[in-house]
Structure 1
Amino acid sequence: MTRLVKCVKLGIETEGLDSPPFPGEKGQEIYEKISKAAWQAWLSKQTMIINENKLASFDPKARAYLAEERNKFLFEGNDEMPAGYVPPKA
């Protein structure tokens, strides 16, 4: 059975995640308030941020930065591209 959530990112009721994306309070909050579609959008943006800023996932500073950007994207409506982002040529 599909679980519906009122997605704070998209502003609509839609399909929720199957489980929290990671352990802890923030993972539970995302599970309760963010849709599958919004989470997938975040994963794409996260990849872009990692690549544009040449971040290492094991670096604690990079992880903190990504957590901050995730919160801005999912809960604060920030859809800005990373600094220095150049869209790919068609």
Structure 2
Amino acid sequence: MARTVRCAVMKREAEGLERPPHPGALGQRIFENVSKEGWKQWLQRLATIINENKLSTADPGSIQVIEQHMLGFLFGEGDMGKLPAGFQPAGGKK
């Protein structure tokens, strides 16, 4: 039987992740409070955040920025996690 969590992103019970998706205490918090679907939504947002802000997952400074966006998107903490200002999805109206 699949593990369920009260997803902080979707605000409802949903299937949980199989393992922590990020190292350390933050990864454990995500594992306990974010569903597979919520994490999938984060990964889609993450791609946009990385591209729009020209971040690198190999740069420790970028990782700190990514984690701040992660906290904002997943848990509503801080001012980060939203789409970058002025972001227009591909094919969007200008």
Q: TM-score, normalised by structure 1?
A: 0.90
Counterpart of 2:70 in structure 1 is 70
Deviation at 1:83, TM superposition (A): 2.6
Q: Does 1:8 align with 2:41?
A: no
Q: Partners in 2 of 1:86 and 1:22 — Cα distance? A: 28
Find the residue that maps to 2:52 and give its secondary structure. Answer: helix
Q: CA shift at 1:22, angstroms?
A: 2.3
Structure possessing the higher relative contact order (Cα contacts under 8 Å, 6 or more residues apart):
1
Question: Following TM superposition, by how much is the alpha carbon of 1:86 offset from its aligned partner in structure 2, in angstroms?
Answer: 1.9
Aligned residue pairs, count: 90
Structure 1 unmatched ranges of 5 or more: none
1:79: how far off?
A: 6.0
The alignment-based identity, stated in percent, is: 41
TM-score (norm 2): 0.86
Alignment of 1:31-42 (within 5 A): 31-42=31-42
In the TM superposition, what whole-angstrom CA distance separates every residue of 1:37-59 from its partner, at most 9, and x where no partner exists?
00000001001111111111111
Q: Which structure 2 segments of 5+ residues have no match?
A: none
